[in-house]
Structure 1
Amino acid sequence: MIINHNMAAMNTHRQLGSNNAAAANNIEKLSSGLKINRAGDDAAGLAISEKMRGQIRGLDMAQKNSQDGISLIQTAEGSLNETHDILQRMRELAVQAGNDTNVAGDREEIQKELNQLTSEINRIGNTTEFNQKKLINGDLSSKKEITPAVTTPATTVDVTKAVEQTIKVGEEPIAWGAGSKANIDVKLTGSADNGFSWNNLADADAGSITIKKMGENFEVSYSGEDGAAKKLDINADKMALDAATGTYSYDNQGISFSFSKADAADWADTESVTIDLSKTGSGVDRTGTINTVPKSVELAVTGGTGDASAAVSDIAIASGSSNLANVDSLEIEWDETAGTFTATQKAGLDTVSTTEFSLAAGETLDFKQDGISFTFTATGDTSGDGNIKGTFALKTETKEVTVAGEVTTAAVTKDQSAQFQIGANEGQSMSVGIEDMRAVALGIATVGTVNDKLGVTNGTDNVVAEQALDVSSHEKAAAAVSTIQDAIDKVSSERSKLGASQNRLEHTINNLGTSSENLTSAESRIRDVDYVLAA
């Protein structure tokens, strides 16, 4: 006999606790009608059910949205129905006025009624609303015209001696800066090859630049006293490499350049690279032209950060600037951080203000200040990248340049159609545009300029600001008939469009109801309790 533990009693107690817990759980389900009252009842089922509930409620609200959309459309269409009736009466009056059995006084009375009917069309257009939203005054037009204004404020900058210019072709910036007498011409010409890659610009043991053929790529390396900075100084002179003819060397002020190719058979006869740095006479114009061609050049710096690429281009800066100092020496520098090659005057220059601009192929930018004129034109093959992006800064001996501000305006259109959310999720909407249905938009009135003929108001006040169709003669009345008929056709087209949208929304409501019903049934099977099983 065991007297310390009563196993029978312990078993009975455990079974009683389990039964009580199960009974409490079943009572909870029967009371709530749900078999998932907490996440622990069915974790996965709860997540699925909540997602379905969100969709169901969204579908139900989308049905209400669609019904509201129909109400809005019916409001607009009902107003246009009255506009139709008015236009039919106006057409009838124009036909009557065209009969020469009428004397001038008769036509004046007809004109008075036309004025009033035209004003009523304006009133309908200006006052027809749904939930305080104007419907047929053009506010919901799919082609609403707006006039933006861009203001450039006047700017005074402190400048010194030179002009700097950076132009970006495609993704690779090509930068230069120089004095008034410097001309930089970098050209790449060749046959219809696929282009080439400048794949290495690294340090070496000797102060030289070497270009050689390496498979399908060029390799360019340079070092010397300033090798780590990828920088060299050269006088204004010319360097040229004809890839088809062999090796060309240049040596000046201790800096040497050698160009060689490993395999002449792989080169096209017409392919060459020319870098021209030369002085020009003093002029007043500077012209920059970029012609893109469907080739590509890839730049990569082995000791730097990342890659850069550009379209192959002909870049020319012709003529000098105005009375600026001569430039005897230029400095070419590769900037690893900015990813640019820059040619600048060796003497210290103060960089001041920059202005960004962008040109597409065929566009031209003109700028002129203090007798210095700049023109940048982008022309290119459609298969190339013709966009130009860059900055420029002006520097003159006067140390100050004032750029006058101006306001630029342009007429553009914006779609302001009403958007109806007809689905439970983002992007499930439809748009309905309602055009301006007032007198001027319909062509049956004009903004008046002759006071004695003004007779049309906006319908909400007594200010006459428009002139109705003139029926003072047979010819004018006949022309008015055609004009009014055109207005009738416009209103008919708008009503037809609204009717089609209304029919679509009715089908949308039916579809949303079916979707909501089926999704509710699926959610119920997950979350609702089965009383037979629970009992």
Structure 2
Amino acid sequence: MIINHNLMANNALRNMNINSNNASKAMEKLSSGLRINRAGDDAAGLAISEKMRGQINGLNQASSNAQDSISLIQTAEGALNETHSILQRMRTLAVQSSNDTNTTTDRTAIQSEINQLTNEIDRIGNTTEFNTKKLLNGEVKGVNAEVKGTAVINNNTTLTDLKISASAGQATAIADKGKVNGAITVTRLNEGTTIGTAGDYEVIGADGNKIAATGNLTFATGEITFKDGQIASGTDINILGSFANMKAGESFTIVLNKHEAATTNTSNAITAQIGANSGQTMQIGIDDMRAAALGVRNASGDAIKVDDKYSANSAVSTIQNAIEKVSSQRSKLGAYQNRLEHTINNLGTSSENLTSAESRIRDVDMASEMSEYSKNNILSQAAQAMLAQANQQPQQVLQLLR
């Protein structure tokens, strides 16, 4: 018998400590609800679950970002709804002014209202903002859109020069009143940015066929359209046309279409972060919706003219083009919103599924862990009892001393 080393007590103490530690860990898991509270619990599981947590948090924030983007879009679209109403009123006034039952005084009053409505379009474009970010003044323009400009030639108008602006897509007629009795010259002026590749045009007749760049053309009522892709950059377009066949009441419309491939300008467009990872974005571009960009204000800053029947007749087409441009922009905003709504639904589904996967790794099974805690607690108490018994064994040596 030995007394310096109580091996039975050491064994009981070791097992008691092991059971106590296991019971303590089980209690920690039960109190936190987590299977992994420290890296030592499951090193690989911790790394995987933390990566999943990063994705879940990113997906939830991306969903919030998408909702904020929808709010921005709704702000812009709501403002454009009023711009649409103003343009519809301006078109009505232009049609009214085209009628010769109006006197000069009547047309002056109509022009006055047109001026005020044009100013209001500019005010809406300059002041509409979301979180102090201007939306309709061209600062967030991200996509090059088609721009139209029109000029109407009437049977009693001598067109001396038709200025076509490449930058704004405006066609401005400088005319003298009188009978059309000869050839006209249509000249492209290089103003601002070029159109399309190398700033080219082609001329399309009312029948949809391409017309030669130069030549003697005879027109009655009809339309020709300038598109990019025909005349070399920097070259004026000279079209000679005889309008001698035009009868009283007939007119001819020249339309300028600026066609460019829709390209994203990431430096100006609004970037919506709609994913949990870098690069998962979408671009939201809103064109300049002020009067000059819509073509209802000229380069001199004057509102579109409706103070005589010829100007008013031309203004109808110009304002209609502006209405179409606003309609196109509102349609794009609606498409953005619909896309973002689907994005939010997808993000919610992804976040839910990832949360479920992360839960299976990180969360504790309470029933199973309670059984484990009960087992370790009972073993710990049993080890304490055995330790007490082991500590009594050396006392038997005292019997030998009697």
Asked whether the two chains share a fold, i.e. TM above 0.5, the reply is: yes
Name the amino acid aligned to 1:44: A
Q: TM-score, normalised by structure 1?
A: 0.46
Give the Cα–Cα distance (whole angstroms) in 2 for the partners of residues 138 and 34 of structure 1.
Answer: 52
Structure 2 residue ranges without an equivalent (≥5): 145-263, 371-402
Helix, strand or coil: the match of 2:302?
Answer: strand
| Counterpart for residue 111 of structure 2 | 111
Q: How many residues align?
A: 252
- Give CA-to-partner distance per residue, 1:464-518, whole Å, 9 cap, x none: xx21111111111111111100000000000001100100000000000000000
Name the amino acid aligned to 1:99: N
Match 1:444 to one of 281, 290, 296: 296
| Counterpart for residue 67 of structure 1 | 67
Name the amino acid aligned to 1:106: D
With over 3 angstroms needed to count, the CA separation of the structure-2 counterparts of 1:61 and 1:523, relative to structure 1, is: same
Query: Is 1:19 matched up with 2:13?
Result: no
Give the Cα–Cα distance (whole angstroms) in 1 for the partners of residues 318 and 26 of structure 2.
Answer: 78
Query: Is 1:504 matched up with 2:339?
Result: yes
Name the amino acid aligned to 1:508: T
Structure 1 residue ranges without an equivalent (≥5): 145-412, 449-465
Query: Is 1:533 matched up with 2:368?
Result: yes
The 5-angstrom pairing of residues 109-188 of structure 1 reads 109-142=109-142
With over 3 angstroms needed to count, the CA separation of the structure-2 counterparts of 1:414 and 1:422, relative to structure 1, is: closer
Match 2:270 to one of 409, 418, 421: 418
Helix, strand or coil: the match of 1:446?
Answer: coil
Give the Cα–Cα distance (whole angstroms) in 1 for the partners of residues 22 and 307 of structure 2.
Answer: 95
Report deviation, 1:49. 0.8
| Counterpart for residue 56 of structure 1 | 56
Instruction: Tell me if the contact between 2:111 and 2:306 (Cα under 8 Å) persists in the aligned partners.
Output: yes
Give the Cα–Cα distance (whole angstroms) in 1 for the partners of residues 140 and 265 of structure 2.
Answer: 10
Give the Cα–Cα distance (whole angstroms) in 2 for the partners of residues 471 and 5 of structure 1.
Answer: 114
Name the amino acid aligned to 2:117: L
The 5-angstrom pairing of residues 345-364 of structure 1 reads none
Report deviation, 1:528. 0.9
Bigger strand share: 1
The 5-angstrom pairing of residues 415-494 of structure 1 reads 415=266, 416-448=268-300, 466-494=301-329
| Counterpart for residue 237 of structure 2 | none
Give the Cα–Cα distance (whole angstroms) in 2 for the partners of residues 129 and 4 of structure 1.
Answer: 86
| Counterpart for residue 35 of structure 2 | 35
Give the Cα–Cα distance (whole angstroms) in 2 for the partners of residues 61 and 80 of structure 1.
Answer: 29
| Counterpart for residue 78 of structure 1 | 78
Tell me: higher relative CO, structure 1 or 2? Use CA pairs within 8 A at least 6 residues apart: 2
Report deviation, 1:143. 5.2
The 5-angstrom pairing of residues 40-439 of structure 1 reads 40-142=40-142, 414-415=265-266, 416-439=268-291
Give the Cα–Cα distance (whole angstroms) in 2 for the partners of residues 143 and 42 of structure 1.
Answer: 50
Report deviation, 1:414. 4.8
Name the amino acid aligned to 1:434: I
Name the amino acid aligned to 1:481: V
| Counterpart for residue 513 of structure 1 | 348
Bigger helix share: 2
Give the Cα–Cα distance (whole angstroms) in 2 for the partners of residues 3 and 424 of structure 1.
Answer: 67
Give the Cα–Cα distance (whole angstroms) in 1 for the partners of residues 39 and 304 of structure 2.
Answer: 73
Helix, strand or coil: the match of 2:306?
Answer: coil
Name the amino acid aligned to 2:336: S
Name the amino acid aligned to 2:364: V
Give the Cα–Cα distance (whole angstroms) in 2 for the partners of residues 109 and 59 of structure 1.
Answer: 57
Report deviation, 1:90. 0.4
| Counterpart for residue 522 of structure 1 | 357
Instruction: Tell me if the contact between 2:143 and 2:286 (Cα under 8 Å) persists in the aligned partners.
Output: no
Give the Cα–Cα distance (whole angstroms) in 2 for the partners of residues 24 and 13 of structure 1.
Answer: 16
- Give CA-to-partner distance per residue, 1:307-344, whole Å, 9 cap, x none: xxxxxxxxxxxxxxxxxxxxxxxxxxxxxxxxxxxxxx
Helix, strand or coil: the match of 2:137?
Answer: coil
- Give CA-to-partner distance per residue, 1:6-30, whole Å, 9 cap, x none: 2322222122111110111011111
Name the amino acid aligned to 2:353: N
Name the amino acid aligned to 2:126: N
Q: Percent identity?
A: 66
Name the amino acid aligned to 1:426: S
Give the Cα–Cα distance (whole angstroms) in 1 for the partners of residues 13 and 53 of structure 2.
Answer: 41
Helix, strand or coil: the match of 2:298?
Answer: strand
Give the Cα–Cα distance (whole angstroms) in 1 for the partners of residues 61 and 50 of structure 2.
Answer: 17
Give the Cα–Cα distance (whole angstroms) in 2 for the partners of residues 517 and 3 of structure 1.
Answer: 63
| Counterpart for residue 10 of structure 1 | 10
